[in-house]
Amino acid sequence: MRENLLDVENLTIKYKVKNGNLFFNRYREFKAIDQVSFNIGPSETLGLVGESGCGKSSLARAIVKLVGLDSGKVTWLGKDWTSSHASTDRKFRENLQLVFQDPLASLNPRMTVSEIISEPLENYRKDLSVLEKIELVKKSMETVGLSTSMINRYPHEFSGGQCQRIGIARAIILKPKLIICDEPVSALDVSIQAQVINLLKDLQKRFSIALLFISHDLSVVKHISDRVMVLYLGRIMEIANVNDLFSNPSHPYSQALLSAIPIPDPIREKERKRDNLVGDAPSPIFPPSGCVFRTRCKKSTNICSIKEPREKIVKLGHRVACHHVSDEESK
């Protein structure tokens, strides 16, 4: 059995919201991420989809320790990362990079492109001379399709797509084993999105990097992922191979999501059956009892409001958290 790069077990992140008056501070805790478990193998792409506010970014940030986690365990390259100290964090991070959502905001406006891209080198490869670093920066820029003549420019002189390429160049310069992409294309034009996604796909093949690809765009996720994880209010609803999920979604939420994908064919698009979700996602501060999805679920019954569904294995590597699933499968 191959060894997983990243194992996440029962990860829970709690946030505090202020809930008091002028004189007394009271805090109310809520779970942004609740008991999430998954793993990522070498050079595999795990897609992570969910509505806004469901905890996708919190999950990504918890994995790279930008946000503290409250319980659970993150194992990175076979070593427990949750209990490690700040000094060992740095070693771990060398193989784990993050690409951010907002391309421009993730680049320091006072730094030139070469300074930005070489920042990981400054921290991890102190043995390199200035010339060697610049050579690496240039190589990395060429890899992501940036002209090396732009090496002295500042981030504001670039377009959004180019900025994202700079972010990717910074992420790949240390040849990491896993890159977490936190909605890397949501701030970009559709045409640029395609370029950046294909770039990521190519990089993955060339350097056999694993990706955790976060997005709320299902077609993008379908295009890039090997496996897909569906998140709702901080809980995993379904996790499956990309083909299984898109051809045979088991969870009502995944079914609703998939039915919302438009078909680029006007005739078929008219006939497309949509089962629209009603209303907004409930507030994670006051989650519904039992199954969190029951307030918007078509199949919701009594048991859904009483008991939280256990994750059921539909197939090897296909897990679903729904009371109604195993019944359907056994028929």
Partner 1 sequence: MARPKDEVRLKMDYTKSFFPFNTKNSKSLDALKDIEERSLWTSAMQRLIQNKAAYISALLILFLAFVCFVGPYFLSWSYDEIDWDLIEATPPSINNGHFLGTDSLGRDLLARILQGGQVSFQVGLLATMVAVLIGVTVGSLAGFLGGWVDQVLMRIVDILYVIPLMFFIIILMVIFGRNFYLMFIAIGFVEWLTMSRIVRGQTMTLRHKEFIDSARVSGSSNTRIIFKHIIPNILGVVVVYVTLTIPQVILLESFLSFLGLGVQPPMTSWGALISEGAREMEITPRTLIIPALFLSTALFCFNFLGDGLRDALDPRDR
Q: 114 or 250: whose CB is closer to partner 1? A: 114
Distance in Å, CB of 293 to partner 1, minimum: 31
Q: 144 or 281: whose CB is closer to partner 1? A: 144
Q: Which are the contacts of 221, defined by CB distance < 8 A and separation ≥ 6?
A: 47, 48, 49, 213, 215, 228, 242
Whether 63 and 212 have beta carbons less than 8 Å apart is answered as yes
Q: 130 or 267: whose CB is closer to partner 1? A: 130
**Nearest residue to 233 via CA among 280, 176, 169:** 280
Distance CA 69, CA 323 (A): 28
Distance in Å, CB of 23 to partner 1, minimum: 19
Per CB under 8 A, residues contacting partner 1 are 61, 64, 66, 90, 93-94, 96-98, 100-102, 105-112, 114, 119-120, 122-124, 130-131, 134-135, 138-139, 142-152, 154, 156, 167, 170, 199, 202
Distance in Å, CB of 325 to partner 1, minimum: 37
Distance in Å, CB of 319 to partner 1, minimum: 29
Q: Which are the contacts of 172, defined by CB distance < 8 A and separation ≥ 6?
A: 97, 140, 143, 144, 179, 203, 207, 209
Whether 141 and 169 have beta carbons less than 8 Å apart is answered as yes
Phi and psi torsions of 150, nearest 5°: -90, 10
Distance in Å, CB of 263 to partner 1, minimum: 30
Q: 97 or 300: whose CB is closer to partner 1? A: 97
Whether 114 and 151 have beta carbons less than 8 Å apart is answered as yes
